Structure 1
Amino acid sequence: MTRFLLFSLVLASLTGPVSAQGFTRIESESQFVELAVGKTLYLGDTTALAQNDGRLIVVFKGKEITGSWAWKEGYFCRVLQSYSTKEDCQLWEYDGEDFQVTRDKGAGKVFLYTLEP
Protein backbone atom coordinates (compact mmCIF):
# COMPACT_ATOMS: atom_id res chain seq x y z
CA MET A 1 0.00 0.00 0.00
CA THR A 2 2.79 2.42 0.89
CA ARG A 3 4.60 1.71 -2.40
CA PHE A 4 1.42 2.33 -4.37
CA LEU A 5 0.83 5.64 -2.61
CA LEU A 6 4.44 6.69 -3.17
CA PHE A 7 4.24 5.68 -6.84
CA SER A 8 1.00 7.66 -7.27
CA LEU A 9 2.53 10.76 -5.70
CA VAL A 10 5.63 10.54 -7.90
CA LEU A 11 3.52 10.03 -11.03
CA ALA A 12 1.32 13.00 -10.16
CA SER A 13 4.35 15.22 -9.67
CA LEU A 14 5.67 14.36 -13.15
CA THR A 15 2.57 15.48 -15.02
CA GLY A 16 1.42 19.05 -15.58
CA PRO A 17 -1.66 20.46 -13.92
CA VAL A 18 -4.71 18.81 -15.48
CA SER A 19 -8.30 19.37 -14.47
CA ALA A 20 -10.78 16.54 -14.08
CA GLN A 21 -12.11 17.11 -17.61
CA GLY A 22 -8.69 16.68 -19.26
CA PHE A 23 -7.92 20.38 -19.65
CA THR A 24 -4.33 21.53 -19.12
CA ARG A 25 -3.59 25.01 -17.86
CA ILE A 26 -2.00 27.45 -20.29
CA GLU A 27 1.05 28.54 -18.32
CA SER A 28 2.77 31.16 -20.48
CA GLU A 29 2.05 34.03 -22.82
CA SER A 30 3.91 32.28 -25.65
CA GLN A 31 1.73 29.19 -25.21
CA PHE A 32 -1.42 31.36 -25.18
CA VAL A 33 -0.30 33.20 -28.33
CA GLU A 34 0.37 29.91 -30.12
CA LEU A 35 -2.98 28.37 -29.16
CA ALA A 36 -5.46 31.25 -29.15
CA VAL A 37 -4.20 34.57 -30.53
CA GLY A 38 -5.46 35.41 -34.01
CA LYS A 39 -8.18 32.74 -33.86
CA THR A 40 -11.89 33.43 -33.58
CA LEU A 41 -13.25 31.71 -30.48
CA TYR A 42 -16.94 30.87 -30.10
CA LEU A 43 -19.27 30.75 -27.12
CA GLY A 44 -22.83 30.38 -28.39
CA ASP A 45 -23.55 33.54 -30.38
CA THR A 46 -20.57 35.34 -28.81
CA THR A 47 -17.19 35.52 -30.55
CA ALA A 48 -13.84 36.68 -29.22
CA LEU A 49 -10.62 37.51 -31.06
CA ALA A 50 -7.39 38.32 -29.20
CA GLN A 51 -4.90 40.00 -31.52
CA ASN A 52 -1.09 40.03 -31.41
CA ASP A 53 -1.00 43.77 -30.72
CA GLY A 54 -2.95 43.41 -27.46
CA ARG A 55 -6.31 44.40 -28.88
CA LEU A 56 -9.40 42.34 -28.15
CA ILE A 57 -12.59 42.24 -30.21
CA VAL A 58 -15.70 40.60 -28.75
CA VAL A 59 -19.08 40.38 -30.46
CA PHE A 60 -21.75 39.94 -27.78
CA LYS A 61 -25.46 39.86 -28.70
CA GLY A 62 -24.61 41.31 -32.09
CA LYS A 63 -22.71 44.27 -30.65
CA GLU A 64 -18.95 44.70 -31.12
CA ILE A 65 -17.05 45.41 -27.91
CA THR A 66 -13.39 46.36 -28.09
CA GLY A 67 -10.80 46.07 -25.41
CA SER A 68 -7.25 45.12 -24.61
CA TRP A 69 -5.51 42.08 -23.20
CA ALA A 70 -2.18 41.29 -21.56
CA TRP A 71 -0.62 38.20 -19.98
CA LYS A 72 0.07 38.82 -16.28
CA GLU A 73 1.52 36.31 -13.81
CA GLY A 74 0.04 33.28 -15.56
CA TYR A 75 -3.36 34.81 -16.35
CA PHE A 76 -5.05 36.30 -19.40
CA CYS A 77 -6.12 39.76 -18.23
CA ARG A 78 -8.58 41.80 -20.24
CA VAL A 79 -10.36 45.12 -20.08
CA LEU A 80 -13.42 45.70 -22.26
CA GLN A 81 -13.79 49.38 -23.17
CA SER A 82 -17.51 49.83 -23.75
CA TYR A 83 -18.77 47.06 -21.48
CA SER A 84 -16.83 47.05 -18.22
CA THR A 85 -13.67 48.95 -17.49
CA LYS A 86 -12.73 46.56 -14.68
CA GLU A 87 -9.83 44.23 -15.46
CA ASP A 88 -10.69 40.53 -15.33
CA CYS A 89 -7.75 38.12 -15.11
CA GLN A 90 -8.76 34.66 -16.26
CA LEU A 91 -7.30 31.18 -15.95
CA TRP A 92 -7.22 29.53 -19.38
CA GLU A 93 -7.03 25.78 -19.99
CA TYR A 94 -6.93 23.78 -23.23
CA ASP A 95 -7.79 20.17 -24.06
CA GLY A 96 -6.60 20.08 -27.67
CA GLU A 97 -9.93 21.31 -29.04
CA ASP A 98 -11.61 23.72 -26.63
CA PHE A 99 -10.66 26.37 -24.09
CA GLN A 100 -12.04 26.27 -20.56
CA VAL A 101 -11.87 29.75 -19.06
CA THR A 102 -12.39 30.63 -15.39
CA ARG A 103 -12.86 34.27 -14.50
CA ASP A 104 -11.39 36.02 -11.43
CA LYS A 105 -8.04 34.19 -11.49
CA GLY A 106 -9.70 30.78 -11.44
CA ALA A 107 -12.22 31.55 -8.68
CA GLY A 108 -15.14 32.81 -10.80
CA LYS A 109 -17.57 31.71 -13.46
CA VAL A 110 -16.39 28.98 -15.86
CA PHE A 111 -17.18 28.98 -19.58
CA LEU A 112 -16.04 27.12 -22.68
CA TYR A 113 -14.75 28.63 -25.94
CA THR A 114 -14.62 26.48 -29.07
CA LEU A 115 -12.63 26.98 -32.27
CA GLU A 116 -15.67 26.05 -34.38
CA PRO A 117 -19.11 27.71 -34.23
Structure 2
Amino acid sequence: MLRVIASVLLLAAPLPAAANGFEPVRDKGDFLSLVKDRVLRIGLYNLSLRVLPDGRIEGSALGWGITGTWHWKDGYFCREMDWSGMKISYNCQLVEARGAEQLRFTVDQGAGDSATFRLR
Protein backbone atom coordinates (compact mmCIF):
# COMPACT_ATOMS: atom_id res chain seq x y z
CA MET A 1 0.00 0.00 0.00
CA LEU A 2 2.82 2.41 0.80
CA ARG A 3 4.34 1.80 -2.62
CA VAL A 4 1.02 2.68 -4.28
CA ILE A 5 0.76 5.94 -2.35
CA ALA A 6 4.36 6.79 -3.19
CA SER A 7 3.62 6.27 -6.88
CA VAL A 8 0.64 8.59 -6.72
CA LEU A 9 2.67 11.18 -4.86
CA LEU A 10 5.26 10.96 -7.58
CA LEU A 11 2.32 11.68 -9.88
CA ALA A 12 3.05 8.56 -11.82
CA ALA A 13 -0.23 6.67 -11.68
CA PRO A 14 -0.51 4.81 -14.99
CA LEU A 15 -3.15 6.83 -16.78
CA PRO A 16 -3.05 7.98 -20.39
CA ALA A 17 -1.76 11.53 -20.80
CA ALA A 18 -4.47 12.55 -23.27
CA ALA A 19 -8.08 12.05 -22.24
CA ASN A 20 -11.23 13.92 -23.25
CA GLY A 21 -12.39 17.03 -21.47
CA PHE A 22 -9.07 18.24 -20.06
CA GLU A 23 -7.60 21.58 -21.13
CA PRO A 24 -4.00 22.67 -20.46
CA VAL A 25 -3.43 25.24 -17.73
CA ARG A 26 -0.44 27.28 -18.88
CA ASP A 27 -0.83 30.42 -16.76
CA LYS A 28 0.15 30.58 -13.10
CA GLY A 29 -2.74 32.93 -12.31
CA ASP A 30 -5.24 30.52 -13.86
CA PHE A 31 -3.72 27.66 -11.86
CA LEU A 32 -3.88 29.62 -8.62
CA SER A 33 -7.52 30.52 -9.19
CA LEU A 34 -8.31 26.81 -9.58
CA VAL A 35 -6.54 25.71 -6.36
CA LYS A 36 -7.28 28.76 -4.17
CA ASP A 37 -8.86 27.65 -0.88
CA ARG A 38 -9.36 24.13 -2.26
CA VAL A 39 -8.02 20.66 -1.53
CA LEU A 40 -6.72 18.28 -4.20
CA ARG A 41 -8.00 14.79 -3.35
CA ILE A 42 -7.61 11.19 -4.40
CA GLY A 43 -10.09 9.47 -2.09
CA LEU A 44 -8.90 5.93 -2.74
CA TYR A 45 -5.59 6.73 -1.02
CA ASN A 46 -6.96 9.23 1.51
CA LEU A 47 -4.62 11.69 -0.22
CA SER A 48 -5.26 15.40 0.33
CA LEU A 49 -3.02 18.23 -0.82
CA ARG A 50 -3.20 22.00 -0.60
CA VAL A 51 -1.11 23.99 -3.05
CA LEU A 52 -0.62 27.39 -1.46
CA PRO A 53 0.07 30.67 -3.27
CA ASP A 54 3.26 31.24 -1.25
CA GLY A 55 4.95 28.22 -2.83
CA ARG A 56 4.21 25.63 -0.14
CA ILE A 57 2.49 22.26 -0.47
CA GLU A 58 0.78 20.72 2.58
CA GLY A 59 -1.24 17.58 3.00
CA SER A 60 -1.39 13.97 4.03
CA ALA A 61 -1.77 10.44 2.71
CA LEU A 62 -2.71 7.47 4.88
CA GLY A 63 -2.40 9.77 7.90
CA TRP A 64 1.23 10.74 7.23
CA GLY A 65 2.16 14.31 6.51
CA ILE A 66 3.20 15.70 3.17
CA THR A 67 5.20 18.91 2.78
CA GLY A 68 6.80 20.48 -0.22
CA THR A 69 7.48 23.51 -2.33
CA TRP A 70 6.43 24.49 -5.82
CA HIS A 71 6.90 27.19 -8.42
CA TRP A 72 5.63 27.90 -11.92
CA LYS A 73 8.22 27.69 -14.71
CA ASP A 74 7.59 28.15 -18.44
CA GLY A 75 3.96 27.04 -18.14
CA TYR A 76 4.63 24.03 -15.91
CA PHE A 77 4.04 23.21 -12.24
CA CYS A 78 7.42 22.33 -10.74
CA ARG A 79 7.54 20.73 -7.31
CA GLU A 80 9.45 18.66 -4.80
CA MET A 81 7.87 17.01 -1.77
CA ASP A 82 8.47 14.92 1.30
CA TRP A 83 6.05 12.26 2.50
CA SER A 84 6.88 11.52 6.12
CA GLY A 85 10.61 11.33 5.41
CA MET A 86 10.39 9.89 1.88
CA LYS A 87 11.78 12.43 -0.58
CA ILE A 88 9.83 12.96 -3.78
CA SER A 89 12.17 14.38 -6.40
CA TYR A 90 11.83 17.67 -8.23
CA ASN A 91 9.75 17.42 -11.39
CA CYS A 92 8.00 19.88 -13.72
CA GLN A 93 4.53 18.78 -14.75
CA LEU A 94 1.88 19.65 -17.27
CA VAL A 95 -1.34 20.70 -15.53
CA GLU A 96 -4.71 20.17 -17.19
CA ALA A 97 -8.16 21.02 -15.89
CA ARG A 98 -11.55 19.50 -16.47
CA GLY A 99 -13.70 22.45 -15.55
CA ALA A 100 -13.22 23.50 -11.94
CA GLU A 101 -13.72 19.96 -10.66
CA GLN A 102 -10.55 18.03 -11.60
CA LEU A 103 -6.86 18.67 -12.19
CA ARG A 104 -4.55 16.24 -13.94
CA PHE A 105 -0.76 16.46 -13.45
CA THR A 106 1.47 14.73 -15.99
CA VAL A 107 5.14 14.27 -15.10
CA ASP A 108 8.10 15.22 -17.26
CA GLN A 109 6.35 18.26 -18.77
CA GLY A 110 3.52 16.12 -20.09
CA ALA A 111 5.62 13.26 -21.47
CA GLY A 112 5.10 10.82 -18.58
CA ASP A 113 2.35 9.26 -16.49
CA SER A 114 -0.50 11.20 -14.92
CA ALA A 115 -2.53 11.49 -11.73
CA THR A 116 -5.96 13.08 -11.56
CA PHE A 117 -7.15 14.91 -8.46
CA ARG A 118 -10.64 16.09 -7.53
CA LEU A 119 -10.87 19.67 -6.32
CA ARG A 120 -12.84 20.03 -3.07
TM class by shorter chain equals 0.7 to 0.9
Instruction: Report the counterpart of residue 27 of structure 1 in structure 2.
Output: 26
1:91 maps to which of 81, 90, 94: 94
Q: Does 2:105 match 1:111?
A: no
Larger CA Rg, structure 1 vs 2: 1
The percent of aligned pairs where both chains have the same amino acid is 35
Contact 1:65 1:83 in 2 (8 A): no
Please show how residues 22-101 of structure 1 align to structure 2 within 5 Å.
22-44=21-43, 45-81=46-82, 82-84=85-87, 86-96=89-99, 97-101=101-105
Deviations 1:43-102, CA, capped at 9 Å, x for gaps: 121011011111101312210111101001111111114432521111110111211111
Across the aligned residues of Structure 1 and Structure 2, the Cα RMSD in angstroms comes to: 1.5
- One-letter amino acid matched to 2:111: A
Runs of 4+, deviation exceeding 2 Å: none
SS of 1:30's equivalent in the other structure is: helix
- One-letter amino acid matched to 1:23: F
Gaps of 5+ in 2: 1-17
Which deviates more, 34-43 or 23-32?
34-43
SS of 1:52's equivalent in the other structure is: coil
Matched residues, number:
98
